[in-house]
Structure 1
Amino acid sequence: MKTTFWDAAANRRSLLRTAAALPAAAALAGGALGGTAAAAADTPGLPDFAPVPPAATGPELNDAGYFVGRIDGHLYWVTDGFYQAMFLSTREGVVLVDAPPTIGHNLLRAIAEVTRANGRPAKVTHLVHSHSHADHVGASSIFGKGVVRIGHAECRRLLLRAADPNRPAPTVTFEDRYTLHVGGERLELAYHGPNHSPDNIFIHAPEHRTLMVVDILYPGWVPFKNLAVSQDIPAWLRAQDIAMGYPWRTLVGGHLGRLGVRADGDLQRAYMADLEASTRAAMNLDPTPYFDKYGPQGNSWAIFKTYLDAVAAQAAAPVAAKYTGVLAAADVFTLDNAAALVESFRIDAGTLGPFGTRP
């Protein structure tokens, strides 16, 4: 019988343990894409990547393909190694933050597991949307119509526009701040402006010294490609500082297999500072060879594609080398992240290098 993505997710930890002996890309493809590591290694064109540092990996998944653990008190988290959700077990029911579709119905299993142990109600009464993206709330429909859905006003607008039956829009919205009290527990929701998305919020559990903010900080890993595919790069950069301004001890970042600690935030900011400095320096690259090659052909797009690709490659190389083995996937996404910075510097910051206004 063919192994599925979801079957393989349960074995992700064992795959990661073998990554030091196998090309990392082959090990990941063999698990995540449903084949074997050997078959992936035989597929033409797949690159080899550095092994994932052990410090970047999370706890062992159970046979159903998830891990649920206590953060503090009645605050818990769930992961499948790729995505994360957080929930509060209260005297009146469960407050869930996000419903990633990769975890799906395992959210219900994880919540049942916890509430059986603590004797509290298993019903999800409130669902908080960190933001509107389908990869984080695409399973929210499994909680039915009775759940109170909470999110930023922009989240509601975006989900009403999407009209996705798997992502019902929040019915309770706010503009700046919202305090949710349920069954003796409290969450502080705050909007600090657009960043990764126009509606991404910060979810703070002050009694538990825990912050959940999604697609901003990636504990143990470099940010996902193109700086988390963020829609506002300057604001995304500021959001890292805003997150570190909260008095948290534990971070739920929404992605990958482990929780974060403050040292993770400091390390990502150091990575980003290095990448910003390297990118600014690379933006003075001489464009003459690219004009000489493609200008006579009248191919303006070829000039700028090859030039901007070269700038990003020059910016990424020393940073990828410095952080490979320190942050997982530094050799995978640093080039894409540098390319996103190049465009943001050009468009948002007006750092145009040789293309600036001349006397």
Structure 2
Amino acid sequence: MAHVLGTRVIAEGVETEAEFLVCRDLGCDLMQGYFIARPTTHMAELQPAYPHVDGGGVRRHSSTLDSILIRKEIEQLPAVRESDDLDAVFDHFRLNPRQPFFPVLNANGEPRGILPEYHVKEMIYHPFGRDLLKNRIYQRRISHFVTPAPIADLDTPADEMLKIFAGMDGSDCVILTENMRYAGILSAASLLKIINEKQLKTAQEQNPLTGLPGNRAIRDYVQHAILDGDETRYFCYCDFDDFKPFNDTYGFQKGDLAITLFAALLRRHFIGEEKFLGHVGGDDFFVGASGLDEEEIRAVLLRLINEFRPDVRQLYSPEHQSAGCISGYGRDGSARDFPLMRCSIAVLTLPEGFILSDSQTVSKRIAEIKARAKASKDGLVVELLDGR
């Protein structure tokens, strides 16, 4: 919100490296606290750079689909400064006759809005307009002609950027910033193109069998969720147990039936904006959820597991159903009997107020929980990640 309003964000009381990294990745422009330096009254003790944070204050570029598309469409218009002479503005419009406006920056390179051509045209076309603008008594500077424009960080999601743009009726563009400094602009046409390309990319990356979002969408969801500490978040990794011998015995067509059956159950049990469903590939699925307590998430996941077991059992032959097992080969190539298929679910919980900067931590912890879920009696293990 602060960046949209063109305001700097200063994080105070940054005392640990973890706090510094989180504030950096959230896009804070400035930081103060014991981790950076202790307070001092001696100017000589102040350093131009501090080795333990030098270079760390620059935010890492996001690799989300939105960020890639936005950086592809950004237009780096030349900008004018609030302190520039009005003659400089006239030169800009004269050298760029097709450009109806230019961004205006303050002395720090931060955007203040745009200067539309029509604001100065009425003065230029007046018989004495140009002379009047130059008159020191009249004292009209560039800042008098600035029109507000929506301002957004480069890593702002495209959907949010569209809302910002729509909220400022009649705006010519969105001014983009990086670390609060001017980076370029997005026109209305470019923004609509980004939204359209995003929808096409998302459709292309959906799993063709289940129609659920694929790995890029899952990564984007996790990256966004770990930085949003407003609610408790649950990352659920679903994997079929003993799927390989079933697939080997009955063929890929029956295997696909088991996968689509589980996808249908997921859609039935998880409905609403605070739920995200993804298909990692094969028999691996991902569920992201928030706005629930642990008892509620356990209940819905156990219902999912318990409903999948009898439904998928119907895909086996009567002989295998009666025996309760199937002969096949394990991943190590050894022949043995395997129980009928079920789903196991590993759940990593991020509590309210806890923010994480590295999504790799989520992947690593889920992989550890996954092995315990497969070995558990009911197929469900829920673990809390709170940094302790």
Greater share of residues in strand: 2
Structure label with greater radius of gyration: 2
Relative to the length of structure 2, the TM-score reads 0.24
